[in-house]
A and B are shown apart, each in its own frame.
Chain A
Amino acid sequence: MSAVTDPTTTVAAPPTIAAASSVAAERRRHSFWNPPLAVGAAILAAMVVFVVVYPMISPHDPTEPNFAAGTFLGPSREHLLGTDNFGRDILTRLAYGGRIDLALASVATLITVLVGSAVGLATGYFGGWVDTLMMRLVDFTLTMPYLVLVIAIVAILGPGTLNILYAIILVGWVSYARIVRGETLVARRQEYVEAARVTGMTDRRVMLRHILPNVVTTAIVFATADLVLNILLASSLSFLGLGTQPPNPEWGLMVAEARDFFLKDWRLMTYPGLAVLVTGAALGLIGDGLAQTLRPKG
């Protein structure tokens, strides 16, 4: 695409379609991966493999107390990160806990991106009173502290892992609606959209084929930041006792449970926090890398 519209190429020699597409492909291959993106993706992939695979190969139970194994054990061949106050294998609990956090944050982000983008696209394209209502809703969610809003919704639904998911979805989609709406308002005035409309395309086709591909980039970059936020949010709520309940392992909950044992064994609190930190940093790198890659080249 970019090769065709690039003025220098067209001035030099009008490239054939095949040549243009190969130049574009070449560019994409060169520019998609950059160091932050590659490093972030590698760390995230390792984390995903760990939480998916380790529970399958670990011989230990994540919830059942095992005092016979010994409590507060240091790292050993049997327990790679040692055991907690109930004699449970810490690494196994980290993997199971990560499943909850990663799955919850991914599902929440995916649904909020889809719903928010659809609403933003429609309201930005059609305008009208629905759009006005939408903007007031955006003002409202931007005014309320995110965490307070989610906590208030959990107050209605009651504590629990699934209820946290519902609460995040109820609040989260609004950000995407705002972003996509703003981009849609700009795109709607562009000539290529006008052209598509003049040729008699349906609104649906114009929105999905011509506007969406051009506005979705910002939403995707935002989603990586949002994924970090959702992991932090989900684990924070479990930390406060509003999400996943004991004895189930979850990163935030594991930090809370380690409170009384910090002086005896500081590692119980350190590991789950580091797990969140590493996952979040990996996603941060991916976000930076994506922003670099997807930034319009000029």
Chain B
Amino acid sequence: MLAYIARRLVQMVPVLFLITLFVFFLVRLVPGDPALIMLGNRATEENIAKLRAHLGLDQPLWVQYGRFMGNLAHGDLGESVRRGEPVTGIIRDRLPPTLFLVGYALLLSTVISVPLATLGALHRERWPDQAVRVFALVALAMPTYWIGMMLLQTFAVKLKAFPVAGYGETLPEHLHSLFLPALALALGIASVLTRSLRNALLETMAADHVRTARAKGLRSRKVFTWHVMRNSLLSTVTILGINLAFLIGGTTIIETIFGIPGLGQLIVRSIFDRDYPIIQGVTLAFGVLVMLVNLLTDLSYAALDPRISYQ
């Protein structure tokens, strides 16, 4: 297991390299002087000269990249143009709401899709199945920003059942404040999960081992839970892994709408502030986040399928 994790971490290196390369060039591809771009228009000549020397802008690009990586190894991503604080600290503060939101959305999408997929599979080609299909079709085509805005305006602004913005202080407050944003974020992925799980359930229900379980007299509920659902979840976890990057990307929109102080809101705001060090840092953070989540998804296969061994 440890060896498997180690090997996966090694496999991540080339991708991580490309991400740092992308982030490095992000500032250098903007027309103009990178030091000026990173410091903003109100910077003094002195500060610009200092940053120029720090970045080594008179050096060849590969030396500059070496410096960038050296700073990165020390957790130094530069300072925010707007706030003058280190980017690393800002990202650390902004990470928890985003993680909470993504986890919450995952939970809600499971709560939505498992019963719907079961319903569809048990009533194959009859009206409940058709209704589930329509849900999946609509939920996938529904723009996240639109359903987010509609939920916010209806349930928070008009009915005042939820806070209009923010993240809260305690766990119950988090769960309450983030319910609508997590729901808006969950719908798209719930559609994908429902479709995939329904098909997987139908496939498993037709399998030999399920017939055997039934034939030996197991109660059908037990057969469904232990023989059908468990086996079907495996393929769905794969689909989930592929779609997690989309879910995480959706936080940019949802956090902006619901005023959640997370990474997604931060990157959108930083574009308007032209706060490039922050844009660099958040882009890097999102990439690393997805990589870690993918690793977790792979490891969670083990819990679902004892046949998979990690060698």
Q: List the interface of chain A (C-beta within 8 A of B).
A: 136-137, 139-140, 142-149, 151-152, 154-156, 159, 228, 232, 235-236, 239-242, 252, 255-256, 258-259, 262-263, 266, 269-270, 272-273, 276-281, 283-285
Known: A144-B290, A148-B267. 4 other contacts (CB 8 A): A149-B283, A155-B30, A272-B146, A273-B142
**Of all chain A residues, which has the CB nearest B133?**
A288
Once A136-B14, A144-B245, A276-B146 are accepted as A-B contacts, the answer to whether A281 and B286 lie under 8 Å apart by CB is: no
B304 at the interface (CB under 8 A from A): no
B207 at the interface (CB under 8 A from A): no
Once A155-B279, A285-B137 are accepted as A-B contacts, the answer to whether A259 and B149 lie under 8 Å apart by CB is: yes
The listed residue (A156, A228, A241, A270) touching B150 by CB distance below 8 A is A270
In the assembled complex, 16 residue pairs joining A and B whose CB atoms fall closer than 8 Å, in A order, are A139-B18, A140-B15, A143-B287, A144-B19, A144-B287, A145-B245, A145-B246, A146-B246, A156-B30, A236-B145, A259-B149, A263-B157, A266-B153, A270-B150, A277-B146, A278-B141
Question: Could you give, for residues 244-265 of chain B, a 1 whenever the CB lies within 8 Å of some chain A CB and a 0 otherwise?
Answer: 0110111011001000000000
Question: Could you give, for residues 191-228 of chain B, a 1 whenever the CB lies within 8 Å of some chain A CB and a 0 otherwise?
Answer: 00000000000000000000000000000000000000
Docked-complex contact A269 and B268, CB < 8 angstroms: no
**With a CB–CB cut-off of 8 A, which chain B residues contact A228?**
140-141
Docked-complex contact B253 and A147, CB < 8 angstroms: yes
- A147 vs B26: C-alpha distance when bound (angstroms): 16
B294 at the interface (CB under 8 A from A): yes
Docked-complex contact B146 and A273, CB < 8 angstroms: yes
Say how far B197's CB is from chain A's closest CB, in angstroms: 17
**With a CB–CB cut-off of 8 A, which chain A residues contact B157?**
262-263
**With a CB–CB cut-off of 8 A, which chain A residues contact B153?**
259, 262-263, 266, 269
Docked-complex contact A155 and B245, CB < 8 angstroms: no
B144 at the interface (CB under 8 A from A): yes
Docked-complex contact B141 and A140, CB < 8 angstroms: no
Docked-complex contact B18 and A276, CB < 8 angstroms: no
**With a CB–CB cut-off of 8 A, which chain B residues contact A147?**
246, 249-250, 252-253
Once A259-B149, A263-B157 are accepted as A-B contacts, the answer to whether A143 and B271 lie under 8 Å apart by CB is: no
Kindly state the interface size class of chain B when it binds its partner.
35 or more
- A256 vs B253: C-alpha distance when bound (angstroms): 11
**Of all chain B residues, which has the CB nearest A266?**
B153
The listed residue (B142, B267, B282) touching A280 by CB distance below 8 A is B142
- A155 vs B269: C-alpha distance when bound (angstroms): 11
Say how far A253's CB is from chain B's closest CB, in angstroms: 10
The listed residue (B14, B18, B252) touching A240 by CB distance below 8 A is B252
B103 at the interface (CB under 8 A from A): no
The listed residue (A142, A236, A266, A276) touching B141 by CB distance below 8 A is A276
B100 at the interface (CB under 8 A from A): no
Nearest 9 Cβ contacts at the A-B interface: A280-B141, A145-B249, A147-B249, A273-B146, A262-B153, A140-B18, A281-B141, A239-B145, A145-B245
The listed residue (A151, A269, A277) touching B252 by CB distance below 8 A is A151
Say how far B121's CB is from chain A's closest CB, in angstroms: 17
**With a CB–CB cut-off of 8 A, which chain A residues contact B96?**
none
**With a CB–CB cut-off of 8 A, which chain A residues contact B291?**
143
Say how far B82's CB is from chain A's closest CB, in angstroms: 14
- A255 vs B147: C-alpha distance when bound (angstroms): 10
Say how far A161's CB is from chain B's closest CB, in angstroms: 16
The listed residue (A136, A146, A148) touching B18 by CB distance below 8 A is A136
- A262 vs B272: C-alpha distance when bound (angstroms): 25
B54 at the interface (CB under 8 A from A): no
B167 at the interface (CB under 8 A from A): no
**Of all chain B residues, which has the CB nearest A279?**
B141
- A1 vs B267: C-alpha distance when bound (angstroms): 53
- A273 vs B294: C-alpha distance when bound (angstroms): 32
Docked-complex contact B158 and A277, CB < 8 angstroms: no
B138 at the interface (CB under 8 A from A): yes
**With a CB–CB cut-off of 8 A, which chain A residues contact B253?**
147, 236, 239-240
Docked-complex contact A152 and B26, CB < 8 angstroms: yes
Say how far B127's CB is from chain A's closest CB, in angstroms: 16
- A240 vs B144: C-alpha distance when bound (angstroms): 12
- A242 vs B252: C-alpha distance when bound (angstroms): 12
**With a CB–CB cut-off of 8 A, which chain A residues contact B15?**
136, 139-140, 143
B276 at the interface (CB under 8 A from A): yes
The listed residue (B146, B147, B246, B283) touching A152 by CB distance below 8 A is B283
Docked-complex contact B149 and A151, CB < 8 angstroms: no
Docked-complex contact A281 and B252, CB < 8 angstroms: no
- A143 vs B143: C-alpha distance when bound (angstroms): 22
B6 at the interface (CB under 8 A from A): no
